[in-house]
Chain A
Amino acid sequence: MENVANQLILLLVVGLLAGIFGAILGIGGGIIITPVLTVMMGLDIKYAIGASIISVIATSSGATIAYLRDEMLNLRVAMFLEIATTIGAIIGAIMTSFFHPTILFVLFGSFLLFSCWNMWRKLRGTGSDEVSTKNDALANKLKLNGSYHDQVLNKDVDYSVENVPGGFAMMFGAGLASGLLGIGSGVFKVTAMDTIMKMPLKPSSATSNLMMGVTAAASAMVYFFNGSIRADIAGPLALGILFGATIGSRVMQRLHPRVIRMIFIPVLLYMGLQMVLKGFGVNI
């Protein structure tokens, strides 16, 4: 009885933290959940991945409610790019049965490290976080340009989107990684929008949150029916995350984009290193 209560409280708290963190950065929060479940609680990696997929959906749905209300996300960008992520996710899920992911771990990890360096330059650069107003023909045709209200700057920011094919290709890779490696791949999504398509960081993060849930839903069904989802783990986690994501989506709007970038860079670095090392057979 006491054991059940302890586990329940631990999972609720971990979920709360993962939800706050995930909603602010636009990532699934798996980097918090997976180590806690496997290292601290000694859970089989199979169930940790199952719980992590449910966490991605909980973060996405919890945060999206607030971001929709506050017009933070770009629905057209999300829907258009989801074509790429969902196709990528399905192909990735099919490939898992006959493809060794080692080389992909190294490849994706290296890309994350490269993005980390890019973000670092952006953070240190003089004209950092300048909003793009370039007139991109494809972005105009697809009506992807948008605006959001920045609470910190206290104004509406209009922005343009660039390099749509590049972003689309990167999103296909994000979907592929998510299906193949069982990760939320929000880090890739934010990078595709922020670094490649030159969207501001806040709508990039909010839009990534929206997209993650849709990408994860397809693979979550697989995990649900093959027994990878344990209700006693995923249930309390999901509850904590739903609350946490609501808080996180409030906090993010009050943060300066620079601060968000400063939290994001170590996350990228950690994930990139972890994936490269995993590719070489080292687990951290």
Chain B
Amino acid sequence: MGNSVKKDEMKNVEIMIGRVLQIGVYISAFVIIVGILLWVFKGTGYNSDLLPKDFGTIWSGVLGLRAYAVVMFGIFLLILTPVLRVIVSIYAFAKENDRMYVWITTLVLVILIFGMVIGYAGK
């Protein structure tokens, strides 16, 4: 009996994470598709030696609908989907009153952000 209640709780957690993740994946796939279509019909939008790779140029490229920047933006969104998954898991475990796993998952998020900061600083 106690086991099946626990199973239902877990099911809710999983459905919720699945839905958020799905939205994230669809949005990033959509942005990449738009970028590739622009590419096929209009070219990359850049000279080959001036490809955008930092926030500023990618963002202005997205606003100007330049293909390469739009695809980069889509890839960036895709990189964020696992992070999103961890954040939603914290919320979901909190909702199920599973304090131990709220802490465990928060620890994973902190390590992940720490890694990203190190990576960004040390590039």
Contact = CB atoms under 8 A, between A and B. Distances in A.
Contacts of A216: 82
Given A68-B21, A71-B11, A239 B29 contact: yes
B115 interface: yes
A86 B79 contact: no
Given A62-B25, A231-B71, A232-B44, A238 B32 contact: yes
Nearest to B119: A222
A219 B82 contact: no
Contact of A61 (B7, B25, B53, B98): B25
B79 A242 contact: no
Contacts of B10: 71, 75
A80 interface: yes
Nearest to A235: B71
Given A61-B81, A75-B14, A214-B86, A236 B36 contact: yes
Query: Which of under 10, 10 to 19, 20 to 34, or 35 or more describes the interface residues of B?
Result: 35 or more
Contacts of A153: none
A251 interface: no
A242 B53 contact: no
Interface in B28-60: 29, 32-33, 35-36, 39-40, 44, 51, 53-54
User: Which DSSP category, helix, strand, loop or mixed, fits chain A's interface?
Assistant: helix
Say what secondary structure dominates the interface of chain B. Answer: helix
Contact of A86 (B11, B71, B112): B112
Contacts of A79: 89, 101, 104-105, 108
A65 B22 contact: yes
A93 B36 contact: no
B99 to A, nearest CB: 12
B74 to A, nearest CB: 7
Contact of B29 (A76, A217, A242): A242
B53 A90 contact: no
B75 A86 contact: no
Interface string A10-45: 000000000000000000000000000000000000
Interface stretch (A52-60, A160-168, A276-284): A52-60
19 contacts: A5-B40, A54-B79, A60-B82, A65-B21, A68-B15, A69-B18, A75-B10, A75-B89, A142-B100, A214-B108, A214-B112, A217-B82, A219-B115, A221-B79, A221-B120, A227-B53, A229-B72, A231-B71, A234-B75
Interface of B: 7, 10-11, 13-15, 17-18, 21-22, 24-25, 29, 32-33, 35-36, 39-40, 44, 51, 53-54, 68-69, 71-72, 74-76, 78-83, 85-86, 89, 98, 100-101, 104-105, 107-108, 111-112, 114-116, 118-120, 122-123
Interface of A: 4-5, 8, 54, 57-58, 60-62, 64-65, 68-69, 71, 75-76, 79-80, 82-83, 86-87, 89-90, 93-94, 142-143, 147, 210, 213-214, 216-222, 224-227, 229-232, 234-236, 238-239, 242
